Structure 1
Amino acid sequence: MFNIPSPANIKTVHIVVICGSGMGTPAAMLQEAGYLVRGSDENVYPPMSTFLASRNIQIKEGYRAGNLEPPPDLVVVGNVIRGDNPEAVAAVEQSLDYCSMPQALHRFFLNSYQSVVAAGTHGKTTTAALLVWLLTVAGMDPGCLVGGLMANFQQSYLLGRGPYFVVEGDEYDTAFFDKRPKFLHYQPQICVLTSVEFDHADIFPDLQAVENAFAQLVTSIPPDGLLIANADDPGASRLSRKARCRLVTYGLQEPAQIRVEMAKYGVGTTRFNVSGPQGFEASFNSPLAGAHNLSNTLSMVSLAHELGLDPGTIQKTLTTFRGVRRRQEVRGEPDGVTVIDDYAHHPTAVQATLEALRPFYAGRRLWAIFEPRTNSSKRKVFQERYATVFDAADLVLIKEPPGLQSIAPEERLSAAQLVKDISKREVEAHYFPEVDTMLPFITSGAKAGDVLLIMSTGSFDNLIDRLLEELNKRPA
């Protein structure tokens, strides 16, 4: 039955789609908390399979009713699982207790902390990681679950003993039996709202539906809670007015309580001055590139100010912050070619990332190598918008999106047409049907000093590792 027993009555937990995004890490958290964890998945491969194996978490390949033998005390169901999945059917027929992962996260972990939720269409992973590192530097020993590997910890979660638990809030639906956004289960005491734009076209029909989801989050913050909202983002600014709690705004351009008075984006660094309430003024240096990362940083500064932390703690947080995997992550510099891995996929994120790297790597040729892979980016909803976001690049390479057969032909993004439209803006662009033809084009054309920004939410057919291998073969 749809129910979560008291944690004291649970010993064994079975997770359906244990290797899925957002499932493997909570599985490790549950194990570290003392539960016997096992699971099943039909896509069992590295790195998640090896990560779980290193924790001695048993994985059954494929979905079948027999995987629930012996019966676990709780079945946790991933949001990609449908109601006709054999294990979902068996859990219902056997009257086993089951729930979603967001519900389990709240019951087993968030209940013991003050919940700090980082939410928004863009920037929530980096923002969450910054908040975690701030609290760590301040000696507050936070718990957390972040949607990317935090380089400072070499993992994406912490079971801290301090008062706060930082969680990245996802607006996707929860499970086949609960279509509410995941972040509603996290019951924030403090919430950072970075941005609200249309995305996730597979579950949201339009921008209004997206805004409705975020409005539920904003209004769920209790009156004694805190909302920290981006005044520069129209959606976040508009929805912040619905809050029942205290509101703190931050911004680079629009009037805000925590605001940037000066920003200089240079090679390898960003310098900026900030002002705020109670005569707050400070100057900082950040290793993070671009205005979008400065905005993320301002949300961290806002929380620090609210917690009464001094500018020295904020600067130490920035100086020692090592970033998040796949967020402007430099994977290598073979033969003088800088190879960067980034998760950007929404048009706004692609444009912001390219515009950030242009001054950060001033005077160098910037390649934009993009695989439209998400359910939204593979659809024509962003066809015209994508054509306008690559202007900061010197050279653009677009790969045919994978899995287009699952989308109606009239709804599909045309990568070939996108390349034509980019070229009309006087930016050199090339279309590739697969990585096997793209790779030799890159290796033959990349020169010392070039910066290769590779953007995908997936493995990109292992392009980066293959590219690094080929570039390392070049004679010194």
Structure 2
Amino acid sequence: MSDKNKFHFTGICGTAMGAVAAAMKQRGFTVTGSDSSVYPPMSDFLRDQGITLTEGYAEENIPADTDVVIIGNAISRGNPEAEAALDRKLLYHSLPEVMKEFFLRGKRNFVVSGTHGKTTTSSMLAWIFKSAGRNPGYMIGGLPKNLGCGAHFTDSEFNVLEGDEYDTAFFDKRSKFLHYLPECVVVNNVEFDHADIYNNIEEIKLTFRRLLNVVPRAGHAYVNGDEQNCLDVAIKAPCPVTTVGFGENCALRIENVSYDTGGSSFTLGGESYSVPMTGEFNVRNAAMAVAAATFAGLTPNEIRAGLETFDGVARRQELKGEANGIKVFDDFAHHPTAIRLAVQSLRQRHPDSRLWVLFEPRSNTTRRAVFQTELAESLALADFSVVAAIPDLHKIPENDRLNPDKLSADIARLGGTGWYLPDVETIVAKVKEVAKPGDIVAVLSNGGFGGIHQKLLAALA
């Protein structure tokens, strides 16, 4: 690829696509791009870099002298630019392939993977490196508050990458993380998810085994020693493996844990650490970040300083406002385990409050019946649970759809109070009717949920 210098990005406004496009422009390459929706802040950022942007997809968007077309993960067959790249026999690549060749080869790449916690853990690790003066490159599928953007590439020897098990592109069905040339891998947990591309947990375990299979002998893998799926994945791994967790069988044990309303503290490897976040899962995330940073050669004091100043990630239990004594939080949780952990953490932070969970089943997995029982069990842990209408339900086969009426009935059967409400206005009205000062309202969605946060705050005020 190195003799090519004109690149066109199809789907350029994604966080990672935009960051890589900007980094390539900074290195002197000619970069153009298009996307179905071009809007700030990414559009402003890219134009500030001198990148020509086109809204909408069309064959003529790809300049005649383009050397390589980078095709985003969201692009499928039928897209005019994907079809043009095939028809014109152009060289085309996925984003992970381009990252591998231009930004990752020869570097010390730290890949944080797992069903849950990878955004927070990779954000913690990148901030620990940055606060210690290591100036890492990073690519994270969220917005770390300390870093200001989700992706940035530098000349540092270190890269921190959120390792996604989702597929790479329409022409490459391997997991993205298999392209990242990892020296160090974190496996937080392994559960069933992405029901649109995986049929069962065994297929997911297989792709994590493949990830450990490309870690070099001088590298390292840190896996959750308290979870059987992680232990299964690590069996026969050709790289050194350290189990991390609370259990007695873990090689690196998390001990002396204490929680208060403002944060958590623990010891790992004989050193004490604290993080300004609550909940067992955040202690696990922090312990994994500590282990990886220690492998990188950072001192306990450098790691401590980074953890203690970590500001978190947007949409991870982020307080959006307070009205009439009722706090409204935003959270990305959308898998039953993540919902359960979010409830647990909010209970620890607000032990005397009634807890509401407003859940929008948007992901390809939660719109399906596969988690019918598990969702009810997690949502019943809140005092009040509201299940919103399921978007694009017609795209799921009828016999495979989540049944929201059954879900709310099961929440009640398990001791919770649950409603299935069809739209944002009805949900806001229900919360306004029942909520009282001191309540906590957590909005759980991996999308925008119709701007419900501000609508709630306005109604409650």
**TM-score where L is the length of structure 1:** 0.92
- Identity, % of aligned positions: 39
Asked if residue 75 in structure 1 is aligned to residue 69 in structure 2, the reply is yes
Asked if residue 164 in structure 1 is aligned to residue 158 in structure 2, the reply is yes
| Cα distance in 1 for residues equivalent to 2:410 and 2:238 | 45
| Cα distance in 1 for residues equivalent to 2:45 and 2:435 | 34
Counterpart residue number, 1:306: 295
User: How is 1:334-345 mapped onto 2 (pairs within 5 angstroms)?
Assistant: 334-345=323-334
Q: Does the 8 A contact of 2:15 with 2:151 survive in 1?
A: no
Asked if residue 401 in structure 1 is aligned to residue 401 in structure 2, the reply is no
Over 3 Å counting, the alpha-carbon distance change for 1:309 and 1:66 in structure 2 is closer
- 2:335 is aligned, of 340, 346, 368, to 346
| Cα distance in 2 for residues equivalent to 1:254 and 1:83 | 50
User: How is 1:41-440 mapped onto 2 (pairs within 5 angstroms)?
Assistant: 41-45=35-39, 48-49=42-43, 51-53=45-47, 55=49, 57-274=51-268, 276=269, 281-440=270-429
Deviations 1:173-232 (A, max 9, x none): 111221111111111011111111111000001111111111111111111211111111
Over 3 Å counting, the alpha-carbon distance change for 1:90 and 1:307 in structure 2 is closer
1:210 is paired with a residue whose SS is helix
Counterpart residue type for residue 34 of structure 2:
S
1:357 is paired with a residue whose SS is helix
Over 3 Å counting, the alpha-carbon distance change for 1:24 and 1:161 in structure 2 is closer
| Cα distance in 2 for residues equivalent to 1:64 and 1:288 | 46
Q: Does the 8 A contact of 2:265 with 2:283 survive in 1?
A: no
Counterpart residue type for residue 80 of structure 1:
A
Counterpart residue type for residue 4 of structure 2:
N
Q: Does the 8 A contact of 1:248 with 1:302 survive in 2?
A: no
Deviations 1:230-250 (A, max 9, x none): 111221122112321111221
| Cα distance in 1 for residues equivalent to 2:46 and 2:429 | 35
Deviations 1:310-346 (A, max 9, x none): 3322221121001111111122223332221111111
Q: Does the 8 A contact of 1:192 with 1:299 survive in 2?
A: yes
| Cα distance in 1 for residues equivalent to 2:171 and 2:259 | 47
Deviations 1:336-361 (A, max 9, x none): 32221111111111111111110111
1:260 is paired with a residue whose SS is strand
Over 3 Å counting, the alpha-carbon distance change for 1:57 and 1:365 in structure 2 is farther
Counterpart residue number, 1:9: 4
Counterpart residue type for residue 431 of structure 1:
Y
Counterpart residue type for residue 234 of structure 2:
S
> How far off is 1:46 after superposition?
5.2
Counterpart residue type for residue 106 of structure 1:
K
Q: Does the 8 A contact of 1:148 with 1:325 survive in 2?
A: yes
Q: Does the 8 A contact of 1:219 with 1:243 survive in 2?
A: yes
| Cα distance in 2 for residues equivalent to 1:47 and 1:379 | 33
Q: Does the 8 A contact of 2:113 with 2:188 survive in 1?
A: yes
| Cα distance in 1 for residues equivalent to 2:442 and 2:295 | 36
1:147 is paired with a residue whose SS is coil
Deviations 1:278-331 (A, max 9, x none): xxx122322111111111111112123334433322221121001111111122
**Larger CA deviation: 142-151 vs 27-36:** 27-36
> How far off is 1:13 after superposition?
2.0
Counterpart residue type for residue 326 of structure 1:
R
> How far off is 1:122 after superposition?
0.9
| Cα distance in 2 for residues equivalent to 1:415 and 1:53 | 44
Deviations 1:125-164 (A, max 9, x none): 1111111111112222111111111100211123233211
| Gap regions ≥5 residues in structure 2 | none
Q: Does the 8 A contact of 1:125 with 1:168 survive in 2?
A: yes
**What is the RMSD of the two structures over their aligned residues, measured on CA atoms?**
1.9
Over 3 Å counting, the alpha-carbon distance change for 1:25 and 1:342 in structure 2 is farther
Q: Does the 8 A contact of 1:152 with 1:323 survive in 2?
A: yes
Asked if residue 460 in structure 1 is aligned to residue 454 in structure 2, the reply is no
Paired residues, what number?
461
| Cα distance in 2 for residues equivalent to 1:437 and 1:287 | 35
Counterpart residue type for residue 114 of structure 1:
R
Counterpart residue type for residue 207 of structure 2:
A
**Larger CA deviation: 331-340 vs 200-209:** 331-340
- 1:449 is aligned, of 424, 438, 451, to 438
Counterpart residue type for residue 144 of structure 2:
M
| Cα distance in 2 for residues equivalent to 1:465 and 1:106 | 40
1:389 is paired with a residue whose SS is helix
| Cα distance in 1 for residues equivalent to 2:65 and 2:421 | 49
